[in-house]
Amino acid sequence: MLAFAGTGKTTTLRAYARERPQQRMLYLAFNRTVAAEARESFPTNVTCSTIHALAYRAVGYRYRHQLRGSIRANQAAIALGLDQRNHKELVLADRALKVLQHFLCSGCNDLAEFTGAVSYHQRYPRQALQAASRLWELMVDPTSSCVPMLHDGYLKLYQLSRPQLRFDVILLDEAQDTNPVTLKILADQSCSRVFVGDPHQQIYQFRHATNAIASAGHWDELALTGSFRFGAAIAEAANHLLALKGEPRQLRGLRSTSPPETSAFIARGNAAIYKQALALAHQGKQTYWCGGIDGYRLQQLLDLCHLKRGEQSQIRDPFIAAFKGYGELCSYAEAQDVRDIKAWCHLIDRHDHWQGIPEEIAGIKRMAVSSITPDVMALTTAHKSKGLEFGSVTLADDFHGHDLLHGAPTDLKNWEYGPQQAPALWDEQGYRGGVVLPEEELNLRYVALTRAQQSCRSPQWSAPMFADLANYVKDYPRFLLVDSHEVLKPKLTAGTPSGLKQGDEAVMVTGKEVSSVQQGHDPEPALSGESAGTEPVAEFATQAGQTITLSWFQGAIDPSHVHVVTSHYERRYPALNWDWLLLEFSELRVVSSDPAGAVAVMLGKNQLASAQQLVERFLMDVGLVLQPDDVVALQAPEGTNGECPVEELVEADECTKEGATGSEAVEEPARRSMRKRLAKFWMRVGQ
């Protein structure tokens, strides 16, 4: 059953159950709050629960003494015998945790099956898989206390026990955000099943949730499109969003009565909620935090302030306390995409008086109340707002923006979205048009908008809300909806690596999931002992239409050369973690024959696509990527007065005081190769 926002899916399910009093039914709710409310309203032939509650009663209670909500990378590092203060070992522990969490959400029976199931979509390094296997062994051991049991952990054990639920019908609510482990449990049941949800409210893909309705097979499908929550104005704005996804059905606003006089501020992330709460506190206005103020990680923000102040003894979170300094933690969060910490670091860095944040937090907490009234504004994120409704809604300005690709100009040859530069935007009829907006971000807008019963406004989008999208759809009816600009680039001409099918080029490497730790020794940018040479050459087209040929360098790189170049980039471009990038791409050359494609995919996945040209230049400077013409005569440029800046960079003894050049020095082949690359690097940057 496709139930759009506010269309009465719970009421429909209750009526469905009442019409079948002789059947024993199980209603599976998304969370405990919804399950508790359902127990008060559903007929007595229905058992209302969550899938985790069923799993806890069957398996989870055995681990109640070691049950925790989450595991941090520092805990995993300690359990694995790694040094939590060593950046590289902490990264390995973090990746092992990500592998484990993905496995727990999957429907696979063991990690070997899981590895094969995700091999075409997510490449996990061997070390991370081995470490994840060890963490899982420690987690399921009731006598072990070093790795706590997670809620998803005992749910996985419940799935592996192959339970048989003694019901005639199972009603699955919020089916659009169901994880595969739950679907596996339900698939093993012989009873009837009713899946209810709204695919346009699927917002938990980052937790590996899937749309159970789409994978339900050839079932009877019904749709609820009339919303009793809001009227025509909200429905119209929602339809503008749904049109981007090609939804043929129209959401109808049926509300005709005045809603309660409640108001809410809905944001994409916690940082915007903090700013709004602070502004209201300065005005002396009370706030209601949906789900409780503790769920918005203000303590984490406070710990970060203590870390930046150097007040280690005041930090409560052991994970944050494990870092030597604030800058080190921020770099780690950026590199490993720790979203909550990244958001708070950005807030602190942009705060004019960040030293006063602890006092601000205290003031915000004083103004928090436990119930909502017409005089109290509710604060919530879009994710936490699921299932809630308010008379009026104000959206924050931190939602993901969209890019409407208008065209086409007269000069198509040099246009960045021309037929050669972005062939996906063209067909036999000409230019199709394109909207750049990740679908999950589009769904978040839809969820936040449809919490409103009467009105919704936003400083990010002018009224009428999302009318620009509706106009674009009319002008470009064949438009393409894409997650990023990167997917519009021409397909790479490199051959598909072994083990991948044709068409998998876009996911053949994921830089974020490639190990930077080698078994048994410290990682090196290039493994010593490898034979010098290059992988098969790949070509890619730049936006200007120029073709550049690149290839991986497979030999060992001189550490002094690596240090010189990396240090320069760290000083010149401090926003990027160059050591991390070098380690990532050193590993990627093993699984990819195409440097350009590896750079594009890895940076795109880590939201660093705008730095692609800079990163490619860095890889060429450091010597990890080569061009056929990567040979430069070593000579001092004009204006250097006979100095040899290359020799100064590497602190070489051979450089003479007057008019020294590389041709006058007798060097070993490896040293000569390093000097040539350094010369090219120095002449390019001019210092």
Cβ atoms < 10 Å from Cβ of 232: 12
- Name 655's Cβ contacts closer than 8 Å, sequence gap at least 6: 644, 647, 648, 665
Comparing CA positions, the residue from 222, 195, 184 lying closest to residue 103 is 184
Q: What gap in Å lies between CA 210 and CA 206, rounded to an integer?
A: 10
- Placement of tokens 């592996």 in the chain: 160
Domains in the chain: boundaries: 2-63+159-224, 70-147, 263-417+430-482, 573-622
User: Where are the strands (E) in 542-663, listed by range?
Assistant: 547-552, 625-626
Contacts of 578 (CB under 8 A, 6+ apart): 566, 569, 570, 618
Task: Provide φ and ψ at 675, rounded to 5°.
Answer: -65, -40
- Give the separation between CA 342 and CA 16, rounded to whole angstroms: 46
Superfamily of domain 2-63+159-224: P-loop containing nucleotide triphosphate hydrolases (3.40.50.300)
pLDDT score, position 181: 95
* b/e map 595-608, b = 16+ CB within 10 Å: bbbbbbbbbbbbeb
Q: What is the pLDDT of residue 215?
A: 67
Distances (CA, A) of 457 to 203, 241, 394, 466: 21, 15, 5, 11
CA 71 to chain centre: 18
Exposure letters 160-184 (e unless 16+ CB within 10 A, then b): eeeeebebebbbbbbbbbbbbbbbb
Task: Give the mean pLDDT per block of 10 residues along the chain (687 residues).
Answer: 93 95 96 91 96 96 92 93 89 93 94 79 81 95 91 97 96 93 94 93 89 74 93 96 92 93 96 96 96 94 95 92 91 88 94 93 96 95 93 96 86 83 88 93 96 94 92 93 83 37 31 28 31 33 46 70 73 72 76 78 77 83 70 38 40 37 43 57 48
Pairing of strands 430-431, 426-427: antiparallel
Predicted local confidence at residue 213, as pLDDT:
83
| Residue in the structure block whose two tokens are 């302030």 | 305
For residue 628, give both structure tokens. 């056929």
In this prediction, residue 424 carries a pLDDT of 86
DSSP symbols for 398-409: -SPP-EEE----
Alpha-carbon distances, residue 7 vs 10, 233, 248, 261, 450 (angstroms): 9, 16, 17, 21, 11
